[in-house]
Every structure is written in structure tokens, then in C-alpha cells.
Amino acid sequence: MAAQQPDFQNMNASSNTSIAGGIAAMAAIVLLSNILVQFLFGDFLTWGAFTYPFAFLVTDIINRVHGPSAARRVVAWGFATGILCSLVGSMIEGPSGSLVSFRIAIGSGTAFLIAQLLDIALFDRLRLGVWWKPPLVSTFVGSLVDSFVFFGIAFSAQLSFLEPSNDVSWANESSRFLGFGADVPFWMSLAAADLGVKLAVALLALLPFRLLTRRLTAVAG
């Protein structure tokens, strides 16, 4: 009896499907986060802090199942699609101005690309370790870079020339860091609080990461 040959066509189809799903999810996360980051949640958080961390989960799942090249494809396409949608959103007027400000679109794109590529590189370097170490370490480092690059570009007074018509004076008012530290521009407290949420989500995402990578690996295999 002849040995059964692997169905490479179906394997490639399932891989392409999961990668396409990753691209769609990444673009949706970037666009939604760019809108929600403009709305405060409590004193030091924005609503975008609760959606954007899932971008790292998408990247890490694709990296684990399909490798770093596929993860970079997801990041590249997700970046291009998300930024395009964000720039379109910057031309749409909402109740209090543009749906997505130009500075937020630029800050999001820059921070996203740097942080996600760093995440992919660190994940791949740690790939052979225990299963939870690559997603946890890469997401922690990527989140740190992402939070301060994004908020610095989107809200710091020093970069107001990027969009002179966008008044971000509220984000540069001096206030105690997270309500109890030294006086700093308000956006730094926003960045720190945002980082805290990202790190919490990174811990909570370990379970879905484990479950989804097992399922997708079984399908791809």
C-alpha cells in the first residue's frame, strides 16, 4: 500500500487563511485603537489601552505557528491597512474634530512598526525556550517601546509642528506622575498607565496564546 502523501495544497490554503485572518485582525485593532485612544477612561487611561495590546497577541500567534517571516507579513499588511484607514479617518469629521488626528495616525504607525518588529525579533530569539517566555518577554519589551514612542509623537508639545491645528495643550499640562509622583506633562502619566494595561493583558493573553497556537498548529500540520 502506497504511503499517503501530505496534502500540501490544503496545508498552504489553511496557512494563507490564518495569515489573512491575522492581517484583518491587526488592521482592525490598529484602526479601533486609533479612534479609542482619543477618549479618556478614568484619570490616566484611554479606551485604546484595552484594545491595542491584542496586536501583540496576533503577532505572537502567527510567529509561533508560521514563523517570523509570516509574522512580518502580518505586521506589514496590518500596518499599511491600519494606517490607510487611520488617514482616511483623519479626513472624516466627528463630533469634536477629525475621527483620527494626523498626529495619532503618525504616532501609531511609527510606534506600531518599531514595537512589532522588535517583538518578532525577540520572540524568534527565545523561540526554543519554555512556551510562555517568548510571548511574555517580547510583548513586555515591545509594549514599553510602543507606549512611550506613541504618546510622545501623538501628544508631546515638542512635536506640535506635526499638526499645528491639533490642540494638545491638555496633554502637556503639568501634573503629578500617576497622581503621586513628580510633576511631569500629563501625557507621560497616560503612557505609563497605558503600559501597565499592556503588561496586564500580556499576562492574561498567555492562556489564549497557548490554546490558539495549539489549535492552529494542529490545523497547519
pLDDT at residue number 144: 95
Name the E strands within 163-215.
174-176, 183-185
Mean pLDDT value of segment 123-135: 94
Distances (CA, A) of 213 to 45, 66, 97: 30, 10, 41
Q: Model confidence at 57, in pLDDT bands (50, 70, 90)? A: very high
Mean pLDDT across 34-46: 82
Question: Count of CB atoms within 10 A of residue 185's CB?
Answer: 21
Q: What is the pTM of this model?
A: 0.84
Question: Domains of the chain, with CATH numbers?
Answer: 9-215 (1.10.1760)
The count of other CB atoms within 10 Å of the CB of residue 9 is 8
pLDDT of residue 95: 60
More confident residue, 205 or 92: 205
SS3 97: strand
For residue 88, name the pLDDT band (cuts at 50, 70, 90).
confident
Of 187, 149, 193, 189, residue with least CA distance to 171 = 187
User: Residue 97: pLDDT band by 50, 70, 90 thresholds?
Assistant: low
The pLDDT, as a whole number, for residue 43 is 86
Q: What is the mean pLDDT of the chain?
A: 85
Segment of 32-36, 86-90, 129-133, 164-168 carrying the highest mean pLDDT: 129-133
